Amino acid sequence: MIDELLAWLSEREGPLGYLVLAAASAIEYIVPPLPGDTVTLFGTFLAATAGYSVALVYLTLTGGSIAGSLAAWGFGRYLGRHEAGWPGFLQREGTRRGIHRIIDGFERHGGLYLAINRFLPAVRSLFFVAAGMADMPAWRVVVFGGLSAAAWNLLILGVGYSVGNNWQRLESLSRDYTYASLAVAGVVALGIAVRWWLTRRRER
């Protein structure tokens, strides 16, 4: 599917092309498996090879990211206000306690978490769901999430132009970064899980 989308975009420079780029950037936060960085990289590639405006590609991708993050935040806010309706596996005492610890963390450091979210592939949307559950104001989501998206997209555009029109090289760089980031995230998650397990043992 993503290959067909990219091929279609490469043939259509115009308002519809930019709209599709924005929509793809937003959907990443709603359907996390969508490879949003691939779309961002391809936007750079289009600006270099297919006549797309660099400024419009940048604004389009950043605006789409903000719209998608607000959708994920809205979903989290709904969950936070309807806790009684959570599925059974989320109603377990240990799970609920863990979720509320995450919410407490966002209440204290939510701005910082959202400021780094864009640099963490695969789990970005979860940051905004947690921010919604913590009832973070929408303006903070737009400001901090927007700054993160703006910085990331600027970095991608810079990398894209340094590579030029070598699409395979761009894909390879993105893939290597994603693997490295997931490895780091996995180590951090393992550390958090071990700490949680040790805390529970002490409580018992």
Q: Which amino acid is at 72?
A: A
Which range of 41-50, 86-95, 162-171 scores highest in mean pLDDT? It is 41-50
Position with higher pLDDT, 120 vs 138: 138
pLDDT of 94 strictly over 90: no
Q: What is the DSSP letter of 70?
A: H
Are 152 and 44 in contact by the 8 Å Cβ rule? The answer is no
Indicate the burial class of 94 (C-beta count within 10 angstroms; 0-12, 13-18, 19 or more): exposed
Model confidence, pTM: 0.75
Helix 146-163 with 93-116: angle, nearest 10 deg: 60
- Residues 6+ positions from 153 with CB-CB distance below 8 Å: 40, 58, 61, 62, 65
Residue whose entry in the numeric block shows the structure tokens 């091929």:
7
Share of the chain above pLDDT 90, in %: 12
Question: Pseudo-torsion of CA 170, 184, 118, 53, nearest 10°?
Answer: -10
Does the CA dihedral 122-43-115-159 come out positive or negative?
Answer: positive
Task: Choose among 61, 26, 59, 56: nearest CA to 41.
Answer: 61
Token readout for 31 is 């359907």
Token readout for 50 is 């297919």
Q: What is the average pLDDT across 7-12?
A: 65
pLDDT of 183 strictly over 70: no
State pLDDT tens for residues 34-68: 555 677 777 777 776 767 788 888 899 899 989 99
Are 50 and 93 in contact by the 8 Å Cβ rule? The answer is no
Q: What is the average pLDDT across 105-109?
A: 82
Cα–Cα–Cα angle for 183, 184, 187, rounded to 5 degrees: 90
